[in-house]
Amino acid sequence: MEYLIEVENIKCSGCVKSINSSLLAIAGVKSVEVDIDKEIVAVEGEESTKTEVISKLASMGYPERGQNNLLNKAKSYVSCAIGKMKK
């Protein structure tokens, strides 16, 4: 099953790397694609993973659209920086 999640705070490839590595570590997630411009995360995996994926994204500073705040923005900058440091 594939599902789409509209999120906030995706800025660059560093964000994408962090999102990909974190979500692919969740059991049942098979693939992840991130559209930077539209801020959409497409996940292929078991339907039961959706809640965990949304929670993981929020904990990294990429909450669902409409749920953003200053703390989430700060978290997203940290996640982005971590992604930029990964090879």
Domain annotation for the chain: domains and CATH numbers:
2-85 (3.30.70.100)
Distance between CA 26 and CA 18 in Å, rounded? 13
Q: What's 18-35 look like in SS3?
A: HHHHHHHCCCCEEEEEEE
Give the pLDDT confidence score for residue 86 in this predicted structure: 77
Distance between CA 5 and CA 59 in Å, rounded? 15
Give the pLDDT confidence score for residue 63 in this predicted structure: 98
pLDDT tier at 87, thresholds 50, 70, 90: low
pLDDT over 70 (residue 33): yes
- Over residues 12-17, the mean pLDDT reads 95
- The predicted-structure confidence for 50-81, as pLDDT tens digits, reads as follows 999 999 999 999 999 999 999 999 999 999 99
pTM: 0.93
